[in-house]
């Protein structure tokens, strides 16, 4: 029944402890009226704050002649650590007189190696990331903002995630992704404030001071070629990642948190291979670049064209500058041993504004 505060310097759902479930909605704005959009964002603020406290969406008048304002499926459920995080996509700023509010760092992600993108799973003007320890609470949040936005926004795509694949606080156990490996061992942590200021939070370097304290959200739907992975030997799997499967230790260590030794050589060969995922993604290999990962495992049943599982990682990362993601993915998409076992099928970039203070709302913050 934990409540995560909705208001604060930063939005909840970024460095707050990663919950177990995700419902992520991307919306297109279908109105031409800035006022109508602002009103929806204000209504979303009220609804989101109420839902994160375990309350229903406040009713206009509660008339039995009208459909209920709240859809009801979360009645009696605890808040379950619900967080509702909003972000805005690049194309939104081309409309509604928002051009002067657009940060120059916000542009559609360029085509990247490893992409096999389905346009129906890409982009969007606004995103709502709802995370909770109860899947019904997270679904209820996205369903109700969708309903409140009727006529102004429409859902473009929706992704459910059923298990977190990252830790964001030191107290959390490292979960496993669908490849069976511990994921999040060397992730940024909420208590490392210096690193977060350096790599996650938008700061005074931005050309849009209203975004200071916000962050760029990259979403990538990465399908795992599970059947191929499951036929790979244990030692192949461990070489691909650069870690031991059971313990999560780097191939150069014996415990999960042992620092990897990327220069270690045995019998003339690098112990952590040159194409291992943890080597190519590491700050040591990327001029010190780091990111906060907060992704979820997903499955959408089977791919009817092949009969194979459609499952993988709904990758979410937060950045001070999305150029970091682009730089790292350019390396991973061309050299990573993992690329034989994955394909990126969805992609989107949003800027998440900073948190709201008392009396503020998303509509007034944007306009």
Residues that bind ligand HEM in the complex, under the rule CB under 6 A: 177, 179, 181-187, 220, 222, 224, 241, 243, 277-278, 281-283, 291, 312-313, 315, 325, 328-329, 332, 338, 342
Asked if residues 318 and 188 have their Cβ atoms less than 8 Å apart, the reply is no
79 vs 87 by CB, closer to ligand HEM? 87
34 vs 327 by CB, closer to ligand HEM? 327
Q: Minimum distance between the CB of residue 294 and ligand HEM, rounded to whole angstroms?
A: 11
52 vs 177 by CB, closer to ligand HEM? 177
Q: Minimum distance between the CB of residue 157 and ligand HEM, rounded to whole angstroms?
A: 19
Those residues whose C-beta lies under 8 Å from the C-beta of residue 3, and which sit 6 or more positions away, are 52, 53, 54, 79, 81
156 vs 277 by CB, closer to ligand HEM? 277
Those residues whose C-beta lies under 8 Å from the C-beta of residue 361, and which sit 6 or more positions away, are 41, 42, 45, 46
Q: Minimum distance between the CB of residue 221 and ligand HEM, rounded to whole angstroms?
A: 10
**Burial per residue of 95-106, b for 16 or more beta-carbon CB atoms within 10 angstroms, e otherwise:** ebeeeebbbebb
143 vs 223 by CB, closer to ligand HEM? 223
In angstroms, rounded to a whole number, what is the distance separating the alpha carbons of residues 173 and 176? 10
Q: Minimum distance between the CB of residue 26 and ligand HEM, rounded to whole angstroms?
A: 18
Q: Minimum distance between the CB of residue 96 and ligand HEM, rounded to whole angstroms?
A: 31
78 vs 175 by CB, closer to ligand HEM? 175
Q: Minimum distance between the CB of residue 332 and ligand HEM, rounded to whole angstroms?
A: 5
User: ∠ CA 113-239-224 to the nearest 5 degrees?
Assistant: 45
Q: Minimum distance between the CB of residue 44 and ligand HEM, rounded to whole angstroms?
A: 29
Tokens representing 347?
């992609």
User: ∠ CA 11-291-117 to the nearest 5 degrees?
Assistant: 95
Q: Minimum distance between the CB of residue 301 and ligand HEM, rounded to whole angstroms?
A: 18
End-to-end CA distance of the chain: 34
Segments of the chain assigned E as strands:
21-29, 83-88, 126-132, 153-161, 163-164, 215-224, 265-266, 269-270, 292-293, 296-303, 308-319, 342-352
102 vs 344 by CB, closer to ligand HEM? 344
Residue of 70, 35, 25, 66 whose CA lies nearest to 151? 35
41 vs 224 by CB, closer to ligand HEM? 224
| Helix ranges, the chain (H) | 34-52, 135-148, 193-199, 226-231, 234-241, 277-280, 323-335, 362-366
């Amino acid at each position: 029944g934990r409540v995560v505060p909705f208001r604060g310097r930063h939005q909840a759902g970024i460095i707050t402890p990663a919950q177990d479930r995700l419902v992520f909605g991307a919306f297109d704005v279908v109105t031409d009226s800035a006022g109508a959009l602002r009103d929806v964002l204000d209504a979303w603020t009220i609804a989101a704050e109420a839902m994160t406290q375990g309350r229903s969406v406040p009713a206009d008048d509660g008339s039995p002649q009208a459909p209920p304002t709240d859809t009801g499926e979360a009645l009696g459920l605890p808040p379950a650590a619900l967080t509702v995080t909003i972000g805005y996509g690049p194309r939104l700023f081309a409309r509604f007189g928002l051009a002067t509010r657009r940060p120059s760092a916000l542009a559609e992600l360029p085509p990247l190696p490893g992409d096999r993108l389905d346009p129906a799973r890409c982009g969007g003007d606004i995103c709502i990331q709802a995370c909770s320890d109860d899947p019904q609470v997270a679904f209820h949040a996205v369903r109700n903002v969708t309903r409140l936005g009727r006529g102004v926004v429409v859902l473009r795509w929706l992704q459910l995630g059923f298990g977190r694949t990252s830790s964001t606080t030191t107290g959390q156990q490292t979960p496993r992704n669908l490849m069976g490996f511990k994921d999040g061992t060397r992730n940024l942590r909420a208590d490392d404030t210096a690193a977060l200021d350096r790599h996650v939070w938008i700061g005074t370097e931005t050309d849009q001071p209203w975004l200071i304290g916000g962050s760029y959200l990259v979403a990538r739907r990465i399908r795992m070629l599970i059947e191929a992975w499951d036929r790979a030997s244990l030692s192949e799997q461990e070489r691909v990642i650069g870690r031991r499967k059971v313990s999560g230790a780097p191939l150069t260590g014996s415990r999960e948190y042992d620092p990897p030794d990327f220069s270690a050589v045995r019998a003339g060969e690098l112990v952590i291979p040159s194409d291992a995922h943890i080597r190519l993604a590491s700050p040591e290999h990327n001029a010190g670049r780091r990111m906060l990962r907060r992704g979820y495992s997903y499955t959408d049943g089977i791919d009817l064209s092949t009969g194979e599982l459609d499952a993988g990682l709904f990758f979410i990362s937060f950045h001070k500058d999305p150029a970091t993601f682009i730089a790292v993915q350019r390396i991973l998409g061309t050299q990573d041993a993992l690329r034989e076992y994955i394909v990126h099928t969805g992609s989107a970039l949003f800027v998440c504004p900073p948190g709201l203070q008392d009396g503020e709302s998303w509509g007034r913050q944007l306009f």
